[in-house]
Amino acid sequence: VGIWYFDTPISLSEMDKQSDALACALLARGFQHGDRLAVYMQNLPQFVISMLATWKAGGVMVSVNPMNKERELETLLLDSGARVLVTQEALWEDVARGVVATGKSAVDIVITTNEIDYVVGDVPTILKGSKKSIATDASDMRNLISDFLGKVPPAISLKADEVAFLTYTSGTTGPPKGARNTHGNV
pLDDT digits (tens, 9 = 90+) for 48-95: 999 999 999 999 999 999 999 999 999 999 999 999 999 999 999 999
C-alpha 14: how far from chain center? 17
Q: What is the mean pLDDT of residues 136-153?
A: 89
Cα dihedral across residues 130, 21, 12, 181: positive or negative:
negative
pLDDT digits (tens, 9 = 90+) for 107-128: 999 999 887 666 444 444 454 4
What's phi and psi for 59, nearest 5 deg? Answer: -95, 180
